[in-house]
Structure 1
Amino acid sequence: MLSSETLISISQWWTILLGIALLIFGFFGALMNWMIFSRQRFRKASSSQYIVTQSIFDVITLSVALLPQVIVGGFGYPYLFSLQLLCTFRNYLSIFSSQAALYSKCLIAFDIWASTSRHATIRQWAKLNRVRFLILMNILFWMLASIPYAVFAKILLIRNIWQCTVVGPGILTYQAYVFVPCLILFIPLFSLSFFGYFSYVNMTRFNALVHIRQINRQLVRMVLVQIAVTAISFVPYGLQFIYSTVTANWQKSSQWMALDSLIVQITRIGFFGNSTVEFYIYISQSNDVRFTFKQILMNFKVICGRNRVFSINARTHNTNTT
């Protein structure tokens, strides 16, 4: 069995290497999603509205949740959480952004199901005015539901490290038996599975082809892949939560605690993968996304080329005038 020092070192390196990789790919993917699905060819598709919204919240989540995790858990710089105001702000914004992004995925699954339904009344929920209403409700709900994580945020010295956490029997009971199992695990997993399955059923029905042609079929396919990947990623996080809840009051050795810390870091950092994979799923599944992405790259090259030509001309002009 590895020593506690070795397990802690593995945990830190896992956080640093995978965390930095997720930050790089996540920021790039979210930016590309925003640029691609804001374009005219995608703007009228109802799911695009949810994807753009999710991309914005993914950037916030990576910035206020994953980046501090890498700095504190990976590089061991605890002073980031030494200010109460910063702790309160980080707790609130990380819960708000991560949950708003997660439920945006659920709304994407709902939108695909509604868009492919053979019932006209259900398909009305894919209209842009209703989509924007659901986006607003999602944002307002999590703005209010995240307030307890700001109110009960405290800075504690745990194992000689300042940590930002929530304190209080009420909030801890709520987190253990309501927030994580229901709002993070069960409801999103059920929604993604339910709407994903029946969207696939709608896609396979012959009489559904008429109105399915009215939406981007590639968009439907790539969202179904995203739903499957997201649902699978819930499994290790859910198992880790069950284990941590069951063993919370057990007496543990330093080696056991180090192993628990490693497991928590692996599942927690892995869970942030949900905020990074969407763009790479979309670009692998959709010709339209790949084409638009190539256009963005070409435009970037043209802009860089113009700037280079302008810079060369400016230097030439300065040389000629001296």
Structure 2
Amino acid sequence: MSIFQATLLISYYGPIVLFSIGIPAALLNAIIFMGIKTLRQSPTSYYVVGQSLADMSALLVVFLQAVPSTSMLASSIACKLSLFFLQTTACLAMSFLCLAAFDRWASTSQSVRIRQLSSIRIARRLLPLPFLIWPLVNIPFFIYTDLIPPTYNCWFTSSLFEQIANYFLDPMLAVVFPLSILIAFGLLTCRNIRLVTHIRQQPNQTHMPMWEQQMTRMMLSQTLVSAILDEAVEEIKRENPNFNVLKVQDNSPVTLDFGFNRVRVFYNAHGKVSQTPHIG
């Protein structure tokens, strides 16, 4: 079996497997974090639920690519909607992960003023913003994409927007900027945890609840996985300029970006469920 045939098989069966496992996991994730009263007391729960909604949307869009009648090659409108929603859901998921990383940093800070930034009131106000902002930012993906003859691949119709998307929107907004935020707040959170551990050794100090500690570890591990996957994708892109679309024998495009996005979305949905804080 050639690499092209293997890629085609993975492209077809991968979405089905990840959809059947990822959707229940993401749904269960949202139910757990909103259904348990103790977890609802943490602002991070709101960001986790928002990310779960984005993950479910991304998994649905990816799954539809395995159905011929709804794939991006089915029609012009399917092409436009597929690229628009893929870009939007990816930005949504990363935004909520960044908000969760910020909240974990704020909640573990020794400064009372900074800890006030980790509140239910602020989380409720921030929750709808990514759902309002990213669809507007990514409207050009709907306008400037279509089936391009003679092969009718789903790609950009504007060379200018193609340059903007490839060199700014995709790498900067979807990878570099959120990745920088994740790494920065991840390191700052680790620093706060070390300070808290040192203070706990002193008498008469208040300890952070165990479920808060578990939630912090969960977000740090998710940050690490996202950073590794994003860096892996960018490194492969630098080594292979034709990474985005790989031609196979029937001239149908297999988008290799989807594979890494599926792994990341699957971990976001399934990983958080397996690491859900135990309430005791």
**Other-structure match for 2:55:** 58
Q: Encode CA deviations 1:175-220: one digit per residue, 9 max, x unaligned.
A: 1211122112211211111111111111121338747449721111
**Are residues 34 and 191 of structure 1, via their aligned partners in 2, closer, same or farther at CA, if it must alter by over 3 Å?**
same
Moved over 6 A (4+): none
Pick the structure with greater CA Rg: 1
Question: In structure 1, which of residues 116, 119, 125 is the aligned counterpart of residue 117 of structure 2?
Answer: 125
In the superposition, the TM-score normalised over structure 2's length comes to 0.84
TM-superposed deviation, 1:225: 1.0
Change (3 A) 1:23 1:44: same
Cα distance in 2 for partners of 1:267, 1:149 equals: 16
Choose the corresponding residue for 1:204, options 194, 213, 232. Answer: 194
Report if the CA contact (8 A) 2:54-2:89 is conserved.
yes
Residue 110 of structure 2 aligns to a residue whose secondary structure is coil
When the two structures are aligned, how many residues end up with a matched partner? 270
- Structure 2: segments with no counterpart, 5+ residues: none
1:154-303 equivalences in 2 (<5 Å):
154-157=146-149, 159=151, 162-205=152-195, 206-207=198-199, 210=206, 212-213=208-209, 216-245=212-241, 265-288=255-278
Aligned match for 2:145, one of 150, 153, 159: 153
Partner of 2:81: 89
Q: 2:132 aligns with which of 122, 136, 140?
A: 140
Question: What residue identity is the alignment partner of 2:51?
Answer: Q
Match of 1:108 in 2: 100
Equivalent position SS for 1:81 = coil
Residue 80 to residue 175, structure 1, CA distance change in 2 (3 Å): closer
Match of 2:31 in 1: 35
For 2:268 and 2:145, locate their aligned partners in 1 and report how far apart those are by CA, in whole Å: 31
1:79 CA drift (Å): 6.7
Unaligned runs of 5+ in 1: 249-255, 292-322
Cα distance change, pair 78–58 in 1 and its aligned pair in 2 (3 A)? closer
Conservation of the 8 A alpha-carbon contact between 1:11 and 1:265: no
Name which of structure 1's ranges 213-222 and 31-40 shifts more when overlaid on structure 2: 213-222
For residues 145-195 of structure 1, what are the alpha-carbon distances to aligned partners after superposition, in whole Å with 9 as ceiling and x for unaligned? 011111112122354xx3332221221111121112211221121111111
Q: Which amino acid aligns with 1:166?
A: F
C-alpha deviation, 1:83, in angstroms: 2.8
**Alpha-carbon distance in structure 1 between the residues aligned to 2:72 and 2:175:** 29
- Alpha-carbon offset, residue 236 of structure 1: 2.2
- Give 3-state SS (helix, strand or coil) of 2:117's partner: helix
Contact 1:237 1:268 in 2 (8 A): no
Name the CA distance, whole Å, in 1 between partners of 2:207 and 2:132. Answer: 32
Instruction: Note closer, same or farther for the CA distance 1:200–1:148 as it changes in structure 2 (3 Å cut).
Output: same
**Percent identity, aligned pairs only?**
23
* Partners of 1:62 and 1:117 in 2: CA distance: 35
Deviation at 1:35, TM superposition (A): 1.0
Structure 2: how far apart are the matches of 1:182 and 1:169? 18
From the superposition, tell whether residues 257 and 97 of structure 1 become closer, same or farther in structure 2 (CA, over 3 Å).
Answer: closer
Q: Secondary structure at the match of 1:165?
A: strand
Equivalent AA in structure 2 for residue 45 of structure 1: S
Please provide the CA RMSD for this pair: 3.0
Q: Quick one: distance in 2 between partners of 1:284 and 1:136?
A: 26
TM-score (norm 1): 0.74
Supply the distance in 1 between the matched residues of 2:165 and 2:238 (Cα, whole angstroms).
13
